[in-house]
Amino acid sequence: MVSQNFENVTLIEHPVINRDLTILRDVSTKTAEFRGALKRIAVILAYHALKDLPQKTFEIETPIEKTTGYDIDQDVMVVPILRAGLGLSDSLLQFIPNAKVGHLGMYRDEETHEPVDYYSNIPDGVEKDMVLVVDPMLATGGSADDALSFLKEQGAQHLRFVSLICAPEGLQRLEEKHPDVHTITAAIDKKLNDDAFIVPGLGDAGDRYFGTT
């Protein structure tokens, strides 16, 4: 029985997300409109994923008087899971322009539904950074599970997973395998179908974002 209650998940509800998710789900949506909707939702996801970052204070001077200034007191690394994760990462970089970016290349085997790794490039500093792993789709959870395990092997200690649409099956897998990792998402859909696609979902995010179908 797949759980429907997840402790480690922030589900963001917002009218803009509802409208843009509808655009993303609609099979008739063309590439340009798909990219626009994904990027708008990604900004909201980024805002929530970053909202409890530690801050440091210091004194600044306005034209009027001295006051307290703030800066983020944590280095951030964004790690998109290729390809589809690239559609989310730019929005995080808008907020944290000096964030490092690591890349993990993996695709899901169509027969076995298991992830196949084909590339990794993780910058130095992963041990101490807040590492935001981004991928629009969490289906079986195999790709995210592999990505998080790999980053932990590299020393990552502060991990978050940012996703657009999650299946309950994938969330359950992450809660079992990575209870220390918080997930931020815009939708928890019904289930997976026999081909391990999210239902109702939006199809293959990477193909639709890059126009490869």
DSSP conformation letters of the chain: ------TTEEE---HHHHHHHHHHH-TT--HHHHHHHHHHHHHHHHHHHTTT--EEEEEEE-SS-EEEEEEE-S-EEEEEEETTTHHHHHHHHHH-TT-EE-EEEEEE-TTT--EEEEEEE--TTTTTSEEEEE-SEESSSHHHHHHHHHHHHTT--EEEEEEEEE-HHHHHHHHHH-TT-EEEEEEE-SEE-TTS-EESS-S-HHHHHHT--
Determine, following the binding rule CB under 6 A, whether residue 46 of this chain makes contact with ligand PRP. no
Determine, following the binding rule CB under 6 A, whether residue 142 of this chain makes contact with ligand PRP. yes
The site string for ligand PRP over 147-166 (x = CB under 6 A, - otherwise) reads: --------------------
Determine, following the binding rule CB under 6 A, whether residue 143 of this chain makes contact with ligand PRP. yes
The site string for ligand PRP over 184-203 (x = CB under 6 A, - otherwise) reads: ------------x-------
Interface with ligand PRP: number of residues (CB under 6 A): 24
Q: Least Å distance between CB 33 and ligand PRP?
A: 19
Determine, following the binding rule CB under 6 A, whether residue 87 of this chain makes contact with ligand PRP. no
Determine, following the binding rule CB under 6 A, whether residue 139 of this chain makes contact with ligand PRP. yes
Using CB under 6 A, which of 108, 131, 161, 186 touches ligand PRP?
Answer: 108
Binding residues for ligand PRP, per CB under 6 A?
81-84, 107-108, 113, 115, 135-144, 170, 196, 204-207
